[in-house]
Amino acid sequence: MIAPRDIILEFIGLPGAGKTTLACALAAGLAPDFDVALPGRGDYRRKKLTRADKLRLDARSLAGLLPYRLARLWHDIRVSGLGLWTVRNSWGQSRYPLVLLEHASRATRRVLVLDEWLLHHTIDESIRRYEASVAFACKFAIAPTPHYRKVYVCVNIDEAVARDRIVEQDQPFRAFAEGKNPHRIGEVLALWHGQLHALKSEIVRRGLVLIEVDGNAPIDTNVALLRRGLRQIAGTGAGAERLPSRDLH
């Protein structure tokens, strides 16, 4: 059993790229080598928080994420204007990095595999509320995660293929796909693709790990590629501390 410093592995990519399917397969495939967990979405993303949860997380933000949260609040006020709804929404949304960190700190597992978390959530919010502001996504989609190594896995797929999958799927949480209008879905995917490309560049600029896989490739092929990558990241030899990202173009 490999025992790396704790890793948070986040899958990113267009809606319909197959992130969830690959994340589930990877979590199963990593079991022989890693102590791995695949939390449910409700454990860390759009989690319903009680008043006690909110107070505890707000107090915990003083330990490191307060600058992130205040920057988010200031950005929202500048864009949307000072108002009760803006302040409450911004302060509430900025708790989600803390939700994940708290969940991770309670777990005994060393690798948390997330099918989509903050980056996906922030792109979605950007498109709905900030007219596809790439600046907003680049500032707030990559939150600090002290004591955890972040690894991003981008599942690349053609927009037309993603659109056709979304039309065929029944996913009520995809508000933009209501009515299954291919033109509308295509517009949102184009915006999403632009933000995703900018965020991949930002991930590399910050020196974080980015592994890119082909969403059309067989699941087993991608799982094997990712297992090799994570073994390299978790290794103890020289040069194994960080896996370079692939070419983004």
Q: What angle do CA 139, 227, 31 make, to 5 degrees?
A: 105
Q: The whole model's pTM is what?
A: 0.86
Helix (H, G, I), strand (E, B) or coil at 111: strand
Q: What 3-state class would DSSP assign to 159?
A: helix
Alpha-carbon gap, residue 120 to 126, rounded angstroms: 10
The domains found in the chain, sorted by start residue, are: 7-48+94-195+208-234 (3.40.50.300)
State in Å, rounded, how far the first CA of the chain is from the last one. 35
Q: In this structure, are residues 16 and 168 in contact, taking their beta carbons and an 8 Å threshold?
A: no
Q: Which of the residue ranges 149-153, 183-187, 243-247 would you say has the lowest mean pLDDT?
A: 243-247
Q: Give the mean model confidence (pLDDT) for residues 147-158.
A: 92
Specify the range with the lowest mean pLDDT, choosing from 141-155, 198-212, 232-246: 232-246
Confidence of residue 175 (pLDDT cuts 50, 70, 90): confident
pLDDT tens sequence across 218-238: 999 999 999 998 888 876 333
Residue by residue, DSSP assigns 161-215 as: HHHHHHHHS--TT-GGGGGG-HHHHHHHHHHHHHHHHHHHHHHHHTT-EEEEEET
User: Is residue 114's pLDDT more than 70?
Assistant: yes
